Amino acid sequence: MSTAAPAAPTHVKPIRRIAKSAGKTTLAKVGDVNAKWYVVDATGRTLGRLASAIAVRLMGKQKPIYTPNVDTGDYIVVINTAKVKVTGRKLEQREYDYYTYYPGGRGKAALKDLLARKPNTVLEMAIRRMLPKNRLGEQMLGKLKCYKDEQHPHAAQRPEKLEL
């Protein structure tokens, strides 16, 4: 038996070191998010395209701190919802169902009629269907403010104009 120490290996693999900041995920907490206020003009904008862009902003998906279980979205004030446009024959063909909770109280309303009577409702329904279907989605929808003309009562929040 030999008492000599074993020979050192001639080829040693370098150890890969990862930076300490790499791999750390920032998760938003409920009180940490600062929501901004934005004004969007719906004049001449297509209904579905406008609704999807607003839904992304309400969820906060454009922010790097986006967390699915926290409301990281901004407040959106939509003006001129009566001037939104739809393409194709949707004005005549699209119908919305409603129920009055009375016997035989199921009804249908055409998009053309709804845009004439309640233009805010049409945009809100389109956006609602693009948000999560839970309490968090309802909270996000509370940050949406729709008005059929240029006037809105949110000047005190100093909303920025947003081009989508």
CATH number at residue 56: 3.90.1180.10
Q: Do the beta carbons of residue 73 and residue 55 sit within 8 Å?
A: no
- Euclidean distance between CA atoms 48 and 86, whole angstroms: 8
Does residue 155 belong to any structural domain of this protein?
A: yes
- Euclidean distance between CA atoms 63 and 29, whole angstroms: 14
Does residue 57 belong to any structural domain of this protein?
A: yes
- Euclidean distance between CA atoms 154 and 113, whole angstroms: 28
pLDDT at 22: 62
Tens-of-pLDDT digits for all 164 residues of the chain?
567 777 766 777 776 665 666 667 888 998 888 999 999 999 999 999 999 999 999 999 999 999 999 999 999 999 999 999 999 999 999 999 999 999 999 999 999 999 999 999 999 999 999 999 999 999 999 999 999 999 999 999 999 999 98
pLDDT at 26: 82
Does residue 92 belong to any structural domain of this protein?
A: no
- Number of separate domains in the chain: 1
Does residue 124 belong to any structural domain of this protein?
A: yes
- Our measurement of the distance from residue 160's CA atom to the centroid of its chain's CA atoms, rounded to an integer in Å, reads 17
- Type of residue found at 78: V
Q: Do the beta carbons of residue 47 and residue 85 sit within 8 Å?
A: yes
Does residue 135 belong to any structural domain of this protein?
A: yes
Does residue 12 belong to any structural domain of this protein?
A: no
Does residue 157 belong to any structural domain of this protein?
A: yes
Does residue 147 belong to any structural domain of this protein?
A: yes
Token output for 95: 């119908």
Neighbours of 24 (CB within 10 A): 7
Q: How many residues does the chain have?
A: 164
pLDDT at 97: 95
Note down the domain range covering 53. Answer: 37-86+120-161
